[in-house]
Amino acid sequence: MSDITRLYPQLYALSERLLAAGQLAETDLDRAIDCLDHPELRSVACIGIPSRFNLWETPAFSNVSYARHLQIIEYLSRADASAMMLLPGASLSTRAILTLGNEQQQARFFACFEERPTWTFFAVTEPDVGSDAGAITSELTHGEHGWRLNGTKTLIGGAMQASAGLVFARYRHSQRLVMVFPDQTRPTLLRESLGTVGLAGAGLTRLVFKDHCVEKEDILGHERRELLQGLNALSLVFERHRPMVAAMALGTTFGLLTALDVRPLPNAARRWVARQWRKYHAVYRQMLTVAEGYSNGQHQHALTSQLKRNATRLVEDTACHLPHWLNSNDWLQDRLLRKRYRDSFAFEYMEGTSNVHLLNSFRPPVSQRVSP
Ligand SMILES: Cc1cc2nc3c(=O)[nH]c(=O)nc-3n(C[C@H](O)[C@H](O)[C@H](O)COP(=O)(O)OP(=O)(O)OC[C@H]3O[C@@H](n4cnc5c(N)ncnc54)[C@H](O)[C@@H]3O)c2cc1C
C-alpha cells in the first residue's frame, strides 16, 4: 500500500494543524477556523474545483487524481476528520455545479471563491423525509412575481457560514437543483445551527425558505430532459462523494487503532487490534479499486455502497470496543480519543445509511432511491 506522505510530505505538518484546529473547535469555532487558514490546507480543500475558478491551487496539489485525493482525505482524517470538514472549499455542491451547471452558472457559483475559499452547502434532507429524497416537499414555483422557493431543509453541512449552496426542490412533477446565495439582509432564508454529538466540524444547519426569490438562471439544467434531472442527477453527484466518506471513516479507524497500539493491552485485545488492522488494510485496498474504476469511467453503484458500508462499519466496530479495552482513567483523560469516538458514529448517516444502500445499490439509477 502506498504511503501518501512520500508524495506529499507536507501532509505531516497539515495534519498537526488539523489536530490543533479540531481541539479549538470544541470551544471556539472562530479560532479553529483561523487556525485552518493556511495556503496548503486551502489548496487541499479546493481540490476538485477546476483551475480556472480556483485561485487557491498550489503547484503541489494541482491535478490530483481521484485515488490520491481519497488517500489525502484518509491521511488527514487520521488526525481529525471533523476539523477537515470544517475547512471551506470544494463540497458536494461544487461537484453538482460542475456536473449539471452550464458555464455561466459555474462562473456565478464559483465567484464566491474569488476573495478566499468559502463554504458551500448541498441541501436535500428534510424533516420527516430523511433518506427518501423522492418525497421532498420543498417547492420551486413560478408566479406573477417570478420564481420562489419555499420549504425547510435540515442536517445540512456547512450552511451557517456558506456564501452559496444548492437546494433540491420539487418543481411540478419532478425536481430541480436551485442555486441559492445566502444574504444576511434577506429574511426569506433563515439559518439555524444544530447541535451535534459527533463530527461537529460538519456544521449542521436547518434552513427555512419563505418565498425566497430565485433567478431563472439559478435553476440548474432547467431546459434539460427529465432524465437528467431529479433523483437521477443526484445519484451522479453522490456516487463520487461516497468514497470520500469511506476515506474519512477509514482515517478515523486508523487514529483509533493507533491509540490502542501505543497502550498496554491484554493479549486478547492485542489479537483483536491486529484483526482490525487487517480489515482496515482490506477496506483501504477496496477504496483504491473503486477510485481506479471511476478513473476508467466505470459506473459502480454497488461497489461504492459496499465500500462505504464496510468503512463505516469498521470505524463503528472499532470505536465500540475502545471503552472496553482501555482502562477507565486512560479513557476518561484522553479528550481527543473520546472526540474521535463520538465522530465515529456520524459517518454512517452521511451519503445514505447502510440500510438504504443495501436496498438500492443494485437498482439502475433512474428508479434509484437516493439519500444525501
Ligand atoms: C455529518 C452529517 C452531514 C450531513 N450533511 C448533509 C448535507 O450536507 N446535506 C443533506 O441534505 N443532508 C446531510 N446530512 C443528512 C443525512 O444525509 C441524513 O442523516 C440521512 O439522509 C438520513 O436521514 P434521517 O436522519 O431522516 O434518517 P431516515 O432516513 O429517516 O432513516 C432513519 C433510519 O431508518 C432506516 N431506513 C430508512 N429508510 C429505510 C427503508 N426503506 N428500509 C429500511 N430501513 C430504512 C435508516 O437506515 C436509518 O437507520 C448529513 C448528516 C450527517 C450525520
Is the distance from the beta carbon of residue 307 to the nearest atom of ligand 1 less than 6 Å?
Answer: no
State the distance from the centre of ligand 1 to the C-alpha of 88, rounded, in angstroms. 23
Q: Is the CB of 11 under 6 A from ligand 1?
A: no
Q: From the alpha carbon of 346, which atom of ligand 1 is closest? A: 53
What is the pLDDT, as a whole number, of residue 367? 42
Query: pTM of this prediction?
Result: 0.93
Does the Cβ of 133 fall within 6 Å of ligand 1?
no
- Listed as ranges, residues in the chain with pLDDT below 70 are 1-2, 223-233, 363-372
Place of cell 440500510: 355
Q: Where are the beta strands (DSSP E) in the chain?
A: 120-123, 139-143, 146-156, 164-171, 174-180, 189-193, 205-214
Quote the pLDDT of residue 26: 81
Give the residue from 83, 43, 96, 50 showing the smallest Cα distance to 232.
96
Q: Whose CA is nearest to atom 44 of ligand 1?
A: 355
Q: What is the rounded distance in angstroms from the CA atom of residue 349 to the CA atom of residue 360? A: 15
Question: Rg of the chain's alpha carbons, rounded to an integer?
Answer: 20
Which atom of ligand 1 is the closest one to the Cα of 121? 8
Is the C-beta atom of 355 inside 6 A of ligand 1?
A: yes
What span, in angstroms and rounded, lies between the C-alpha atoms of 266 and 140? Answer: 59
Our answer on whether the CB atom of 177 is closer than 6 Å to any ligand 1 atom is no
Query: How many other β-carbons are positioned within 10 Å of the β-carbon of residue 135?
Result: 12
Check if 149 has its Cβ closer than 6 Å to any atom of ligand 1.
no
289-293: which pairs have CB atoms within 8 A and are 24 or more residues apart?
A: 290/243, 291/65, 291/66, 291/67, 291/70, 291/243, 292/67
Ligand 1 closest atom vs CA 159: 8
Q: Walk me through the domains of the chain, giving residue ranges and CATH numbers.
A: 4-87 (no CATH), 117-224 (2.40.110.10), 230-367 (1.20.140.10)
Question: From residue 156, how far is each of 26, 174, 322, 339, 353 by CA, in Å?
Answer: 19, 22, 29, 21, 16
Distance (Å, whole) CA 319 – CA 221? 43
Cα angle 132, 134, 135; round to 5: 75
Alpha carbon nearest to ligand 1 atom 17, residue: 372
**What's the Cα-to-Cα distance from 47 to each of 91, 94, 243, 290, 329, rounded to whole Å?**
10, 10, 15, 19, 41
Contact 322, 341 (CB under 8 A): yes
CA of 352 to the centre of ligand 1 (A): 6
Q: What is the DSSP string of 107-136?
A: HHHHGGGSSS---EEEE---TTTTT-GGG-
pLDDT in tens, 345-371: 999 999 889 988 888 877 655 444 444
Q: From the CB of 372, is ligand 1 less than 6 Å away?
A: yes
Mutational pocket test of ligand 1: of 93, 122, 124, 125, the residue with most ligand atoms within 8 Å of the beta carbon: 125
Give the distance (Å) from ligand 1 centre to CA of residue 77.
Answer: 22
pLDDT value for 368: 41
Q: How far is the CA of 204 from the centre of ligand 1 (A)?
A: 13
| Ligand 1 atom with the shortest distance to the CA of 351 | 17
- Cα–Cα distance measured from residue 264 to residue 270, given in angstroms and rounded to the nearest whole number: 9
Testing ligand 1's pocket by substitution, the residue of 131, 137, 344, 368 carrying the most ligand atoms inside 8 A of its CB is 131
**DSSP secondary structure string, 247-306?**
HHHHHHHHHHHHHHHTS---HHHHHHHHHHHHHHHHHHHHHHHHHHHHHTT---HHHHHH
Q: Which of 237, 356, 369 to mutate to test the pocket of ligand 1 (most atoms within 8 A of CB)?
A: 356
Task: Choose among 43, 34, 39, 48: nearest CA to 91.
Answer: 48
Q: What is the pLDDT of residue 371?
A: 47
Q: What is the per-residue pLDDT for 228?
A: 52
Note whether 324 and 258 are within 8 A (CB). Answer: no
